[in-house]
Amino acid sequence: MKIIYEGHSCFQILGNWGPRILLDPFISGNPFCEKSPQDFKPELILVSHGHSDHLGDALEIAKANGATLAASVDLLQVLDISGLKTIGFNMGGGFEFKEAKIHMMPASHGSNVNGAYAGLACGYMIHLEDKNLYFAGDTAIFGDMEKVLSRYEIDCAMLPIGGFYTMGPKDAITAAKWLKAKTVIPMHYNTFPVIKQDVWEFKEELEEKTSSKCLVLGPGQDTELGDSES
Ligand code: NI
Ligand code: MN
């Protein structure tokens, strides 16, 4: 499968035979994304919470492509989802979508849409083509990363490192240690001045202190996650 980083916390996960998944599609207003919402053709859109840098263009892209929008029931409640295919579920639960299995994971973060309370923020565990991908969303570090999430054999973890709104580099390294992910892709940094981080310093420290490999993707860059890496 191919993982494309679109800046901030937006990723496309394109299966070789599995579905095309779009995560937290913050496109308009994302200073690192040169694409426009029309450039995305997902079948499934996963949104971690209602903040505008995550919900982004989800509604427009879902509508334009007939894509399924999956998020917490509480978030869908405050959105205008008329005419959209949606899956509203909650933490601990999951669903199958074509060849993918999606589970909602806890996160430690808030959620609202223009001031309307939108329940709890979440992360996602995505099982696709024999790989487990963990997308943390916006979160602080929390103990269940070690107790609950590490039960999955995580091939790739997408972790925020920006600090201020989420965990910063130090906590992300501890989280990576707990998660035992083979590969960590840092996200949610440098988009705004308050979340500026030295990602290369993070990579060096992560690889020194954990068994994880750090894959720094610039906006628009992609990686292949295939059998050769397992
Ligand atoms: Ni947020
Ligand atoms: Mn955010």
For range 58-81, the mean pLDDT: 98
pLDDT 10s digits, 75-96: 999 999 999 999 999 999 999 9
CA–CA separation, 68 vs 66, rounded Å? 7
Q: Are 223 and 194 in contact (CB under 8 A)?
A: no
For range 146-155, the mean pLDDT: 96
pLDDT 10s digits, 202-221: 999 999 999 999 999 999 99
pLDDT score for 223? 97
Q: Are 67 and 43 in contact (CB under 8 A)?
A: yes
pTM score of the predicted model? 0.97
Residue 159 is inside which H or E element, if any? strand 156-160
Please say if the pLDDT value at position 193 is more than 70. yes
CA–CA separation, 79 vs 74, rounded Å? 9
CA–CA separation, 67 vs 29, rounded Å? 22
Q: Can you give the residue ranges of every domain in the chain?
A: 2-229
pLDDT score for 227? 59
Would you tell me which CATH number, out of the four given (3.30.1360.20, 3.40.50.1000, 3.60.15.10, 2.60.120.260), belongs to the domain 2-229?
Answer: 3.60.15.10
- Token reading at 76: 């869908």
CA–CA separation, 227 vs 230, rounded Å? 5
Strand, coil or helix: 5: strand
Taking the CA of 188 as reference, the closest ligand is: 2
pLDDT score for 117? 97
Strand, coil or helix: 186: strand
Residue type, 37: P
Task: Assign 228 a pLDDT band (cuts: 50, 70, 90).
Answer: low
**Radius of gyration, alpha carbons of the chain:** 16
pLDDT score for 230? 43
Taking the CA of 26 as reference, the closest ligand is: 2
pLDDT 10s digits, 95-136: 999 999 999 999 999 999 999 999 999 999 999 999 999 999
- 52 Cα–ligand 2 center, Å: 8
CA–CA separation, 164 vs 213, rounded Å? 24
pLDDT score for 226? 77
- Average model confidence (pLDDT) for the chain? 97
Taking the CA of 49 as reference, the closest ligand is: 1
- 53 Cα–ligand 2 center, Å: 5
